[in-house]
Amino acid sequence: MLTGGCLCGRVRYQADGVAFHETICHCSFCRRAVGAVSVAWFSVKRADLHFTSGSPTWFKSSAKATRSFCGACGTSLTFQDDDHTREIDIAIGSLDDPDSLPPKDHSEAASKLRWVHVDDGLPVYLERRDS
């Protein structure tokens, strides 16, 4: 079980089951949504994510995706791709113990900022990972 929440503590969650797709995303949508050069995410089955206190604010961030954040402090929490409705991505930085779930690769690296150098030895996918 993984637990986490937003900066102010209003929204808390619990993610049961097995985490997968631990990645650092470099796409422009993630950068703009979070205001950072990249975002570390992990996935769980949608049915395994439970909000234990508060409720995030949901918004359609593109034609094919929905994101959530804390409406009080703005912490980015989740990303859901409309083509993969049985899974949901959760921001690793929102975990109570983000060190417990390190990323395993970089995705969307073709979109990374020119001054970002990916040299940590993790696999790099120029676009989305196939699975």
**Does the pLDDT at position 131 exceed 60?**
no
In this prediction, residue 130 carries a pLDDT of 63
Does some domain include residue 10?
Answer: yes
3-state secondary structure of 58: strand
In this prediction, residue 46 carries a pLDDT of 97
Does some domain include residue 125?
Answer: no
The range of the structural domain enclosing residue 59 comes to: 2-111
Beta bridge partners of 28: none
pTM of the predicted protein model: 0.94
User: In 10 A of CB 28, how many CB atoms?
Assistant: 11
Number of compact structural domains in the chain: 1
Query: 10-19, pLDDT tens digit by residue?
Result: 999 999 999 9
Does some domain include residue 130?
Answer: no
Query: 17-75, pLDDT tens digit by residue?
Result: 999 999 999 999 999 999 999 999 999 999 999 999 999 999 999 999 999 999 999 99
> How far does the chain reach from its first CA to its final CA, in angstroms?
23
Q: Taking a C-beta distance cutoff of 8 angstroms, is the pair 31, 39 a contact?
A: yes
Q: Taking a C-beta distance cutoff of 8 angstroms, is the pair 89, 23 a contact?
A: no
